[in-house]
Amino acid sequence: MSAIAKIYHLALATAFAHLVLFLYLDGKTADGTESEVPKQSYVSAASIILGNIFTLSLTGSVTIVFTQYLWYILRTTTLKVSTIESMFAMQANPLLLRDFNAWQKAPILVVLVVLVWLMNIAASFAPGALIVGPTTRYSNQVVEVPTFDSSFIGNGSGADANKFSLDKFDINDYDTFFPVSTAGSYSQPLQRLAASTMTAGKQSTMQSPCGANCSYTLNLEGPYLQCDSPNIQYGVLNTTSLSWSDNFQSIGQNITFETHDDGIDLLVWNAYQGFLFDPWVGGSKEARATASQMHIIAPSQFSTQTIRPLGMRTPAVRESGSESNIFGRLVAVEGNYINCSAATATYNVSYVYENNILSTNVSVSSIDIIKNLGTTKEMSNVTQEYGISWPGFLVTTANRTEEWLLGLGSSYLGYESANWTSDWVSWYKNLQIMAVINSMTRLLNGTYPVELIQFGDATSSLSPAYGVGVDVWGTEVSWVDFLDVFPTSSTYADRLKSTLIGYTTFNDNFGDFNVTAYSWVNDPTENLKYDSVSFTVTPESLNQLLQNITLNMISEIGWWSTPANVTQWESINTFQFSKPLNLILPYFISLFLAIPVLVLGIWSLHQNGVSAMNNSFVQLLNTTTGSKELERAAGKGCLGGYDNVLDELMDLKIRFGELKGVERGDERSSNGVRRAGFGTEEEVRPLVKGENYGF
């Protein structure tokens, strides 16, 4: 009885240890230098060993029960030798479970055998509860990452302020009142970066500062255009009354036409902002030798206008061989007018690197319009109207202020840290923001000559909403960009193209590299190759381009950096207790079902009075001698092997009990000692509990 309980408790302890092991390993690194547990091969071996110990322990206890209950049946039931043979051998040979006689005579015993086999199968699922798979491990740390800092001035000197400025300062020693200027001194690297960004149409890639897989967020002050809603206007243009002009205005709106023999040149874009920065020396005599003051004129308004043709009053068909080689005179157009103000905005930039592939997301908040960089009356330390005091920015070698005012000596940007006030920091930041905006608008500003082509006759009426009358118009019209069709006008047009807009994403044909060939209606043999010209400009697209330029400055210029909270992750192989039911269910069900089995074993042991031995040769010797009928039938197959077993023996019905008429002829028999063993029904009678059996 104690053996059954001990083996069952061993199985229970093994199941618990297996569960604890898997819970401990869950999430641990499987292999590698950072692994804090044994190698995967050792863990697998340990798991299999624990599973085997559980199976052997639990099935061992059930096997003991099987043996006790089998001998209880042998004591109480007369069975054929063939049935008894199946009962003894079915633990090792599951095919014997098909024996109908065994199911009929001892169903519970057969169920015990089935349970043993099922326990072996169920326990095989347990090691599969723990797998090794990829897991993403996250870590956080502070990393220095590139950024854009419009207030960065190096060591604080005038020289460093100029070195790290996106709008360079020029010193004019012979200009007494305007010794330093930024007008036209923009940064060529910034201009090239803006041009490459505009023509690429996207943000450039940036090498990860934090590894192959990481993410971080930047908050920075960047450029922004605060634009009014687009103003859509319709009208009719008399093309013969217009002339072309390239006189740019400071507020940047200048769209006019010029009529040529071969069509209409349309200036479809003109964005311009004026910016003039002139420091000068002024104020009291005491302050003049140490202070530079700024006089700034900085209008920061930007305007764009694009015109889309809606129709032409008369068909624009080129007549072959005719002197009438002109287009129609009236053109219905739709004008899209956008007015914007320069502003600063807070960029919230999310950088995500996955396998070194960058993706960014930018959100904008806290928009603040730059009203006027030259507004100085609100600033401190003002000694003259429009003067900004900046001690230490500009240094002169003149001995006296009067000599410097007369142009004697020379000036240079100071190398010592200047006295930066909050007003100066704000002004310097806005200067950088304006430089970025201007790098874009400078390239967009200009003219783009095109010609108007109409296909077919005037057959349609335009919508009354356009307000251009009820006349019949030719609506199949388009601005076109001719490619070497008319050498004279083409050369003229190329000379007038002073804007980069045609090579940016504002061009609706950006990325389309197919040139369409059309034929004039009345001359199919003359093919003219040209591209239609159409631009779409919105406040969103303008600011998207500004964002791309700003982000590319971060990756390409590399002047600025800031600490950022970086989240890094890597894929590693870890132990994963991903299928706990694979362990819990087989073990729990097996242990639960074993409880009534153990009760059956204890009951059988109590009924038998003695503990039966399983697969014991000695027990066979002790229990199979004494029956003459059994010995006679068994003796015919004394060589062993199934081939020598006679049907007579297999069909013989026997039972384990007290053998009748078997005496030893000595005092043991006279003292009442009896003999137990297998015999036929005529040879045995039931065993009596408490009697003395032993010869």
Provide block-wise average pLDDT over 10 residues at a time, the chain (695 residues).
81 92 87 73 88 88 86 84 82 80 84 87 87 87 94 87 81 49 64 91 89 94 90 70 28 31 34 33 38 43 77 52 45 81 92 93 90 46 44 61 50 76 80 86 74 64 62 70 44 56 84 58 44 81 94 91 94 87 90 88 82 72 72 71 72 82 56 75 80 69
- Kindly list the domain boundaries of the chain, sorted by start residue: 1-130+577-615, 141-570, 616-695
What's at 668, amino acid-wise?
R
> Which residue intervals of 557-662 are DSSP H helices?
580-608, 617-623, 628-635, 647-650
Please answer whether residues 558 and 355 qualify as being in contact, where contact means their C-beta atoms are separated by less than 8 angstroms. Answer: no
The pLDDT assigned to 332 comes to 80
Please answer whether residues 29 and 36 qualify as being in contact, where contact means their C-beta atoms are separated by less than 8 angstroms. Answer: yes
The sign of the dihedral angle between the CA atoms of 24, 27, 29, 34 is negative
Q: Which residue has the tokens 């036209």?
A: 184
Q: Kind of pairing, strands 330-354 and 214-227?
A: antiparallel
User: pTM, whole model, 2 decimals?
Assistant: 0.65
For 587, list phi and psi in degrees, rounded to 5. -70, -45
Which residues does 300 contact at the CB level (< 8 Å), separation at least 6?
A: 273, 275, 341, 342, 370, 371, 372, 373, 434, 437
The pLDDT assigned to 472 comes to 64
**Residues 292-331, buried b or exposed e (16+ Cβ, 10 A)?**
bbbbbebbbebbbbbbbbbbbbbbbbbeeeeeeebbbebb
Please answer whether residues 88 and 110 qualify as being in contact, where contact means their C-beta atoms are separated by less than 8 angstroms. Answer: no
Distance CA 23, CA 44 (A): 14
Which residues does 258 contact at the CB level (< 8 Å), separation at least 6?
A: 242, 243, 244, 264, 265, 449
Count CA atoms within 13 Å of residue 348 on its CB side: 5
> Which residue intervals of 92-187 are DSSP H helices?
100-105, 107-123, 158-163
Integer Rg of the chain from CA: 50
The pLDDT assigned to 305 comes to 76
618 CB-contact burial (10 Å; exposed 0-12 / middle 13-18 / buried 19+): exposed
The pLDDT assigned to 612 comes to 74
CA 138, distance to chain mean position in Å, is: 13
The pLDDT assigned to 260 comes to 32
Please answer whether residues 548 and 231 qualify as being in contact, where contact means their C-beta atoms are separated by less than 8 angstroms. Answer: no
Q: If we measure between CA atoms, which residue out of 249, 279, 248, 277 comes closest to residue 166?
A: 277
The pLDDT assigned to 371 comes to 67
Q: If we measure between CA atoms, which residue out of 158, 179, 116 comes closest to residue 393?
A: 158
For 589, list phi and psi in degrees, rounded to 5. -65, -40
Q: Measured between alpha carbons, how far is residue 46 from residues 35, 39, 51, 123, 580 in Å? A: 17, 11, 9, 14, 17
Please answer whether residues 167 and 187 qualify as being in contact, where contact means their C-beta atoms are separated by less than 8 angstroms. Answer: yes
